[in-house]
Structure 1
């Protein structure tokens, strides 16, 4: 276990070096190497959001934790309602006065099933949030090595296409220019 924390704590980030000159002054240019996807995945699996911080995308962490906290709240809310209707159903079956006197047995069963299903869906959603956290960290680390040029251009132009002598089509064309 100690080796795992040592492995996760060790930084694989290295800097590529080069020189650029402006006049008589030489400036050292450093470009970060791509992030390690395996490390980002392990970090996110151990602590949700740690892979995003490793990938220098810390702005995603509050969104992730807002989703986790909101989902945890709804799991608790749905479970509380499920437990109260379940207890009312048991009381109804034993002939004891319950908290929902206007509901018959079928209404209580429907409510028990409804709140249990909502709780279970929220639990599955929590698993999906956790999995998306790991996937996002892995994909972001893989894409960190791609150089994005400032010379990209997107143009919207009118476009006319002729299918036959009497059949013309007009529309808009999106053109991406790479320089």
Structure 2
């Protein structure tokens, strides 16, 4: 009986060890795909520079500001991000446009009235204080002159807003050094063998180079 018991115990021991040896290894936790994809996207964004278009390349460019202002009134101011100047530009353009329309419409009215007056026909101003050829001709010529001057004004407004955008883009790229300023130093001047003269010297460092910064490692 003892041998049978020993045999059964030995068999159970071998079976348990075999079961333990055949048990599958614990499953590893899968990597978080969302974290990996975010890390890969961040790496790609750092490695690949952002693509620049015609507007963002070489910003601010005075030439591009002038081109946009000549193409569209206020385009140069938008390029320079001077939004507060747009009401001024469009106010001047609209104002000159209304001036042209007012003078041109009155010129046409007086022109037609003068032609009818010469043909001894009724016209818009019949029976008024200007119902004569001389007055009609004088007013017609005056409104004609004002119309031409308004066209010149429109051209000047159009040109000035482009010039302003060009200059403003130049000023945006103009670097002003904080260290620019006058320096007052004592001076000692020698004039031959005479007694040296003590005075004050003023120095304006216009060509001073900015200090070089250490390279980050």
**Pairs within 5 Å for 1:73-84:** 73-84=98-109
Q: Distance in 2 between matches of 1:80 and 1:150?
A: 57
Q: Distance in 1 between matches of 2:163 and 2:105?
A: 32
Q: Distance in 2 between matches of 1:131 and 1:151?
A: 36
Q: 1:148 to 1:97 in 2, by over 3 A?
A: same
Say whether the 8 Å CA contact 1:52–1:58 is kept in structure 2.
yes
Alpha-carbon deviation of 1:152?
Answer: 8.7
- For 2:56, the equivalent position in structure 1 comes to 11
How many pairs are equivalent?
130
Say whether the 8 Å CA contact 1:88–1:100 is kept in structure 2.
yes
Determine which of 68, 74, 91 is the counterpart of 1:49: 74
Q: 1:118 to 1:151 in 2, by over 3 A?
A: farther
Further displaced range: 57-66 or 138-147: 138-147
Q: Distance in 1 between matches of 2:121 and 2:163?
A: 51
Further displaced range: 127-136 or 94-103: 94-103
Q: 1:151 to 1:89 in 2, by over 3 A?
A: farther
SS across alignment from 1:99: coil
For normalisation by structure 1, the TM-score amounts to: 0.65
Say which one has the larger Rg.
2
- For 2:154, the equivalent position in structure 1 comes to 126
Are 1:110 and 2:138 an aligned pair?
Answer: yes
**Pairs within 5 Å for 1:1-179:** 9-13=54-58, 35-101=60-126, 102-103=129-130, 104-148=132-176
Q: Distance in 2 between matches of 1:87 and 1:112?
A: 10
* Unaligned residue ranges in structure 2 (runs of 5+): 1-51, 182-203, 206-217
Q: Distance in 1 between matches of 2:53 and 2:100?
A: 32
* Unaligned residue ranges in structure 1 (runs of 5+): 1-6, 14-33, 154-176
Say whether the 8 Å CA contact 1:37–1:138 is kept in structure 2.
yes
Aligned-CA RMSD value: 2.4
Say whether the 8 Å CA contact 1:8–1:42 is kept in structure 2.
no
Q: 1:8 to 1:118 in 2, by over 3 A?
A: farther
Alpha-carbon deviation of 1:9?
Answer: 4.3
Alpha-carbon deviation of 1:94?
Answer: 0.6
